[in-house]
Amino acid sequence: MFKTFVQNEEYAAAVGNREALLAGAKQCLIEKGYARTTARDIAAASGVSLAAIGYHFGSKEALMNQAIYEFVGDWSQEVERALGADGSLDAEPLKRFESIMERTIESFNGPARGMWAAQLELLTPMEQNEELRGFLAKVQRYAADGLAEFFLGVDPARDPEAARTAGSVLHALFIGIIVKWFMDPEQALSARELTEGLRIIAEHMTARSGSGRPDRDGDQERGAATGRAGDLDPAADRGDAVAETDQP
């Protein structure tokens, strides 16, 4: 009985050390970023020995990669709770997308900013780091499945191919949104603009007129209603410009 108790205590301590290391790694990534975080930084932040990093994760890089992966899971759970609270969880896909992106963009400039920035840092050493590239390749499918379910409500277990293809597109879109926001927040699109852009793309790719060209009548009506020049026919605009230059 005592032996079992001691073994359970040791197991609990091991699990506690592992979780403490992950928490310390997340803190360091937020405060210092991926490249500037050292193993000693993580050990100090977690209150766990340096040797424990190798014991539980094999390397500092493996620990930080896992910390970033778990951060994304924490983020999705947090956003899902918020969507459930305001009723957006069961909204139609475009509205759901806008609600998710609104909260995500807010987090880009919040306490978790460093974790999003750390994900961009992974892109630079990936080419020379086999361990990192292998890890990122391994989580691609998990990311696609998770995003398909999160944004679209597609169950990966029931429709794995739809989850893989739609989720991979969403993953690529999501990475691009992060890159563009950190590149220039002032020019980055808002959640509403991103949603409107998706709607326009989907409409133009699926709704065709008899001539095989996108039906622009609806676009011009929306342009007149919203005052957005991007919704008008560029060919017509060019014609007007030519007519103006011909005038004496």
Q: Judging by beta carbons within 10 Å of its beta carbon (0-12, 13-18, 19+), is residue 141 exposed, middle or buried?
A: middle
Q: Could you give the 3-state DSSP secondary structure of residue 186?
A: coil
Alpha helix ranges (H) inside the chain: 2-32, 39-46, 50-57, 60-86, 93-108, 113-121, 130-147, 160-183, 191-206, 217-226, 234-246
Residue 24 has pLDDT above 60, yes or no: yes
Q: How far apart are CA 190 and CA 181, in angstroms?
A: 10
Q: How far apart are CA 130 and CA 120, in angstroms?
A: 17
Q: How far apart are CA 135 and CA 213, in angstroms?
A: 43
Q: How far apart are CA 232 and CA 14, in angstroms?
A: 63
Res. 73 pLDDT band, cuts 50 70 90 = confident
Domains of the chain and CATH, by start: 2-188 (1.10.357.10)
Chain segment 190-248, per-residue pLDDT in tens: 999 999 999 999 999 987 654 445 555 555 454 444 444 444 444 444 344 444 444 44
Look at the pTM and tell me if it is higher than 0.85: no
Chain segment 39-54, per-residue pLDDT in tens: 999 999 999 999 999 9
